[in-house]
């Protein structure tokens, strides 16, 4: 009886540990996905500190951009986004030319056409001032 109980508890504990490790191993990322009107496609931009394993169709592979950056640059961009007043987390904006859907570590945000231009310019200026990864800065341009 005691052995059976011990085996069940041990199995439950190992299962719990495995579930926690799986969640910890998933890399955090920021995604900028253009959802506005545009004559030519604007690829989604994934930003992370690790290469992401993303399932894409053959068509999507040609139209996506992944920026792998260093930890300091990623945190600096995330901090800039946290402090920015340009995002609208509650309502989806009208589909204007420059509208972006943004996923920041699982949190859904939106940038309307007017705010998106201002956001990217300010983000590039801020990252340049903080001497962040040049590939990240170029990728946001």
The string of pLDDT tens digits covering residues 31-90 is 999 888 777 778 889 999 998 776 655 555 545 578 999 999 999 999 999 999 998 766
The larger pLDDT score, comparing residue 94 to residue 41, is at: 41
Average pLDDT, the chain: 79
Q: Confidence band (pLDDT; 50, 70, 90) for 7?
A: very low
* Ranges assigned E (strand) in 11-111: 29-34, 45-48, 65-68, 100-104, 107-111
Instruction: Give burial (CB, 10 Å; 0-12/13-18/19+) of 66.
Output: middle
- CB-facing half-sphere around the CA of 43: CA atoms within 13 A: 16
76 close to 130: Cβ distance less than 8 angstroms: yes
Residue 6 has pLDDT above 70, yes or no: no
Q: CB 112: neighbour CB atoms within 10 A? A: 21
Task: Locate the domains of the chain by residue range.
Answer: 27-140
3-state helix, strand, coil in the chain (%, to 5): 45, 20, 35
Model's pTM, two decimal places? Answer: 0.74
- The token pair that represents 18 in the structure block: 């495995």
- CA–CA distance from 102 to each of 4, 54, 125, 126, 131 (Å)? 49, 17, 19, 19, 24
Which one, of 28, 29, 33, lies nearest residue 116 by Cα? Answer: 33
């Amino acid at each position: 009886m005691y052995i059976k109980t011990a085996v069940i508890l041990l199995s439950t504990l190992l299962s719990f540990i495995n579930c926690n490790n799986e969640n910890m191993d998933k890399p955090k990322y920021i995604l900028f996905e253009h959802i506005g009107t545009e004559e030519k496609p604007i690829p989604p931009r994934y930003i992370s500190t690790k290469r992401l394993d993303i399932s894409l169709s053959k068509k999507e592979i040609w139209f996506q951009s992944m920026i792998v950056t260093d930890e300091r640059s990623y945190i600096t961009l995330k901090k800039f986004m946290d402090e920015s007043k340009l995002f609208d987390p509650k309502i989806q904006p009208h589909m204007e030319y420059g509208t972006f859907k943004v996923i920041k570590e699982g949190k859904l945000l939106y940038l309307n056409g007017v705010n998106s231009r201002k956001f990217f310019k300010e983000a590039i200026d801020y990252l340049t001032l903080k001497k962040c990864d040049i590939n990240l800065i170029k990728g946001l341009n």
